[in-house]
Amino acid sequence: MRFEASPDEIVATAGDVLVLPVHPAEPLSPLPPVTAEIGAATGVDLRALVARRGLRRAGDHCWVPSAGGIACPDLLLVCVGGPDATDVTDVADLREAAMRCARLLDQPVVVCALDRVVTPGWDPTRVVVEAMAIGLYRFDRYRSADTGPGVERVVLPGSDPDVVHTAAVIGAATNFARDLTNTPAADLTPAAFAGICAEKASELGLGYRELGVAELEEGGFGGILGVGAGSANPPVLVCLESGDPAAPATALVGKGITFDSGGLTLKGSLDAIVTMKDDMGGAAAVLAALTAVRALGVDTHLRVYLPCAENALGPRSQRPGDVLRHRGGRTCEVVNPDAEGRLVLADALAYAREATPARIVDVATLTGSTGLGPDIWGIMGSSQSLVDALLRAGTATGDPGWQLPLWEGYRKNLRSEVADLRNHQADMSKFWNHKAIWAGLYLSEFVADTPWAHLDIAATVFRNRADDVWAAGATGTATRALIEFLRTERV
């Protein structure tokens, strides 16, 4: 599927369906100029049709067979919310309308004019293209029945080609992260994930290094080794680099647990374990953001660290009470093998810090206890300016986050009687409500004074059921925020 701008007049742009914006029926608002133009060309009273069909909220729609006069045989009217006393369309309404509209489409060529509205402070073309790319997403590679080609091209007459290209790259990167996260763990083992990273490195001219078990043992990566010990699929740490090695670097770290059974503290229900292929969503978002930034030619120095392991049950699985030694020498009492994400991230963060980056950002499906629901990721960190930059980026792309405190009063909970740290409490009934903060404090022990931010995306990475906006499965959460951050918030 591709998006393209066209210099042709909208009435002359050929396709299978023309998608037009309209405003709510109550109160009855004037049509956007582009829709009024098509109404005049076809001889159809589209304003009366909007009123008769009762289109009110963003995404409400109706199909209209064209009466001729234009190059498309059918119209799709989509309510984008918007004006009563003004001609301004709310960007959140426009984004939802584009995503809901995309879920309806399966025609090969779609001509889209949803971006012909007024959204002060926002580029409506970028909003529409990113949202439609996400809405058109399918994950059907495992289906034996032919689901059809779906939408092959989306044409936007009169739109800026550069904006369309940028937004299409961002949308494609988000869907790449979704593809990775949706892939069954039997097919996306740590080695398979590393292989995909190597392919991307070759394709995009990135620096690439892979640390297997021997190198991890030699380097003292006890967290990654301990988590991966119970699996037949050995762990690996993938390292990628882009940009001028002499320039200040941003380090990105992504949690890559390709499946999380909970280890010897096996997850307690089918609901808790059935989606655990998504536990590498942080690594997927980081890799996808890296590929997009490279494809867009963003001049920035990035170092990427993706600790990949499978937390499985096996005769060599780490046990509650085991003590492991992290990269750099600090020891951890493993109270709970199901709190494995912080163990692999701690090694990767310590390793990233050794290269003295200007800042570190990690992204992880860490706890699911941010309390922010399925739409908003949580963030905390040691640098307020870095946290603010990531929050701005998320807001700008409809991929929002919310800050949680790194409350120092909880740091005492990390203390162990037998090691430097412990990864969990034995009695979590007293600590359930602040698990996300406690996990963030654990990670903070490994970044020293480097400016650092941590995104907890566990609650936003996957949707169990489809709705009229999202397909079931992975969301690609944090990918767009990372891309925007790297494009606009330079070191």
Q: Give the C-alpha separation, 438 to 445, whole Å.
A: 11
Q: Give the C-alpha separation, 111 to 360, whole Å.
A: 42
How many CB atoms sit inside 10 A of residue 389's CB?
19
How many CB atoms sit inside 10 A of residue 28's CB?
12
Question: What is the per-residue burial (b if ≥16 Cβ within 10 Å, else e) of 140-150?
Answer: eeeeeeeeeee
Does the annotation count 430 as an active-site position? no
User: 303: closest CA among 342, 360, 347?
Assistant: 360
Q: What is the CA radius of gyration of the chain?
A: 24
Of 95, 255, 294, 342, the catalytic one is 342
Q: In sequence order, what are the residues at sequence separation of 6 or more whose Cβ sits closer than 8 angstroms to the Cβ of residue 235?
A: 190, 213, 216, 224, 225, 227, 228, 307, 308, 309, 310, 344
Say if residues 93 and 80 touch (Cβ distance below 8 Å). Answer: yes
Tokens 């994950």 found at? 139
Does the annotation count 200 as an active-site position? no
Q: Give the C-alpha separation, 449 to 359, whole Å.
A: 10
What are the φ and ψ backbone dihedral angles of 402, each rounded to 5 degrees?
A: -145, 140
Q: Give the C-alpha separation, 36 to 264, whole Å.
A: 64
User: 457: closest CA among 328, 331, 367?
Assistant: 367
Of 53, 138, 153, 267, the catalytic one is 267
Helix (H, G, I), strand (E, B) or coil at 212: coil
Active site residues: 267, 342
